[in-house]
Structure 1
C-alpha cells in the first residue's frame, strides 16, 4: 500500500477507535463491570443510551459531499455507534467454541439443498441456539465470552453503498462469464445455485475470486507455491479495486475495531505475501495496490449458497461478509448495508437479485 494510503488508513483507524471509546465511556457513568464481571443491568442501560444515539444517526442525512477518496465524519460516527452497540449487545450460545471446532467435520452440501447429516450429529453435543431475528448490532459469544460473530447492520452510509454498487455493476459481464454451461453435468457444487434474473439484472450472476497471491486448495504448506488468481490481472477488476480503495480502508478499520487480532494477523501475513510475490521475476500482479488486509476477495452475485464447511481455516480468525444493498424485501434480516464478521480469512462481497 502506498505511503499516503497508509497514512490515511492509520488516521481512519485512530478516529474510529477513539470515537468508539468515547461512546462507550459516555454510555455508562459506572461502567458495565463489577468485580471483573459484566453487570446485566448496567449493560442494558448502556445499550439503551447508545441505541438512542444510533437511531438519531441513522435518521440523519450525511450533508458532506461524498467523494470516493475520503471517509466523512458522519461515516466514522455511524460506524462507531454501530460497533459500540454490538459490543454492549452480546448474545450468548451455551457451548464452548473450541470443543465445537474440534467436533466439526468437513462437509459437502446436498445438491438438492436438503440438510446434511452433520447438523444433526452436532446437535447431540451442542444444543441448537434459538436466536430468532436479530435486527440490531450484536456480538454472538460462546459460554466463555469468546466471539463467534459480530453483526453490524446499516453500518455503511447510503452514499457509500450507492458508490460500491455502481462500481461493482461494472463487473456484470465478468460475473456472467463465470457461469458454467447449463449442459455441464459434471460441474462442482461450488458452481451451482446461481439465479440469473430476467434480463440479466444489474449485477448478473456469478462468482469472481480475486487474490494477488494465495495457496491453491489442498496445497497450503509453506513449500507450496503462491498463485495469483486469473481475475486479478483483469483490467476491469483492477479498475474495480482502485475504485473501492477508500471503502476498503473503512472495512479494514472496522475489522481493526471489532477483531484486532485478525487485523494484525492479516496485515502481517499480507506483508509477507507482498515480499514473496515481489521476489518473483515473472509476476506482473501489482500487489502494492492491494487495498485489503484480507488476502482474497470473493464477489458473489445472485446465488443460493448451500450449507457447507470448508477446510483450511483458522478457528481464531474470521471472514468479513459484506452485503452492500440498502434494503431488500426478502432479506432474512431486513437490512443490507451490513457487515458480518465470521469464519475464515477471506472477504466476500454478496450481491442480491437485481
Structure 2
C-alpha cells in the first residue's frame, strides 16, 4: 500500500507556503468573502462541482507544485476485522460527558460513544508550561477504562506508527527520541506517567 501511494500522486497549482502566509492566526473559516478569495487563489485539484470529480479508491498522495507532500491517502488501511475490533473497544472509553456545544465535542444522540478523551502519557498542565514546570500524565489516560482501551488497540497504533516511520521519518524519530528521554528519567517521573508509557504504542505525544 505504501509503495502504491508513493507512485500515485496528484499536484496542486499552488505552493503551500504561500497558502500558509495568506492565513491569519485567527482564521475561522466563517468569513465568506475571505474564503472566496482563498479559494480563487488556491483552487482544489479538481475544480468541477459535479460528477466529473473522480472517485479515488486507491492509495495516493497529494503535493503542492514544489513537491511538498500535503496528504497521504490510505483507503482500507485497516482490515474490516481490525476496524470492527477498534470500534467495539471504543465503547469502553470513559469520555468527559460535558459538551460546550461546539462541533468539536457535540454529537447527535444515539450515535455511539460521545464526549472528549485527551490521552497523553506526559504533557504540561494547562497554564503550567514553563521550563521548570513538571510533566503530568493527562487525567483521561489515568482512567482505568481508557488505559485498557490503549492496551486493546496496541496493534492498530503500531501499524500507524510503522507507516508514519516511512512517510514522516524525521517526525517519527523525534517522537521516539522524546519517549526515550522519558524512559531514561523514569525514576524522576510520577507513577501515572510510567504506567501510561507501558501502554503507549504510538510516536505521537497525544491522542484525542
TM range (shorter): 0.7 to 0.9
Match of 1:245 in 2: 154
Contact persistence 2:105–2:115 (CA under 8 A): no
1:87-107 CA-partner distances (Å, limit 9, x unpaired): 111110112222322332233
TM-score normalised by structure 1 residue count: 0.50
CA distance in 1 between partners of 2:24 and 2:148 (Å): 39
Equivalent residue, structure 2, for 1:196: 109
Q: 1:72-101: per-residue Cα shift (whole Å, max 9, x none)? A: xxxxxxxxxx22221111110112222322
Looking at structure 1, the residues matched to 43 and 31 of structure 2 have their Cα atoms a distance apart, in angstroms, of: 15
2:38 matched residue in structure 1 = 122
Give the corresponding residue for 1:94.
Answer: 13
Shift of 1:134: 3.2
Determine if the alignment matches structure 1 residue 137 to structure 2 residue 56.
no
* Pairing of 1:1-354 with structure 2 (within 5 A): 82-107=1-26, 109=28, 119-123=35-39, 126-131=41-46, 132=53, 133-171=55-93, 174-175=94-95, 177-180=96-99, 187=100, 189=102, 192-197=105-110, 201=111, 203-216=112-125, 222-275=131-184, 278-280=187-189, 282-285=190-193, 286-289=195-198, 290-298=200-208
Given that residues 119 and 138 in structure 2 are in contact (C-alpha distance below 8 angstroms), is that contact kept between their aligned partners in structure 1? yes
Higher strand share: 1
CA contact (8 A) 1:213 1:277 kept: no
Cα distance change on mapping 1:107 and 1:242 into 2, 3 Å: same
Contact residue 105 and residue 114 of structure 2 kept, 8 A: no
Residues in 2 aligned to 1:118 and 1:100: alpha-carbon distance in whole angstroms: 13
| Residue 128 (structure 1) shift | 1.6
Distance, in Å, in 1 between the alignment partners of 2:28 and 2:33 is 10
Change (3 A) 1:218 1:100: farther
**Does structure 2 conserve the Cα–Cα contact (< 8 Å) formed by 1:215 and 1:226?**
yes
> Which deviations, in whole Å up to 9, do the C-alpha atoms of 1:280-322 show, x marking residues without a partner?
3x44231431211111111xxxxxxxxxxxxxxxxxxxxxxxx
- Point out where structure 1 has 5 or more consecutive residues left out of the alignment: 1-81, 181-186, 299-354
Q: TM-score, normalised by structure 2?
A: 0.80
Tell me, yes or no, if the aligned pair for 1:179 and 1:191 is still in contact at 8 Å. Answer: no
| Root-mean-square deviation over aligned CA pairs | 2.8
Paired residues, number = 199
1:241-266: CA deviation from partner (whole Å, max 9, x where unpaired): 11111222111111112222221122
* Counterpart-to-counterpart distance in 2, 1:118 and 1:227: 40
Are residues 277 and 94 of structure 1, via their aligned partners in 2, closer, same or farther at CA, if it must alter by over 3 Å?
farther
After superposition, the C-alpha distances for 1:186-215 in whole angstroms (9 at most, x for unaligned) are x37365542222xxx4x3212211011123
1:51 matched to which residue of 2? none
Gaps of 5+ in 2: 47-52
The 3 A distance-change label for structure 1 pair 158 and 231 is: same
| CA drift at 1:269 | 2.4
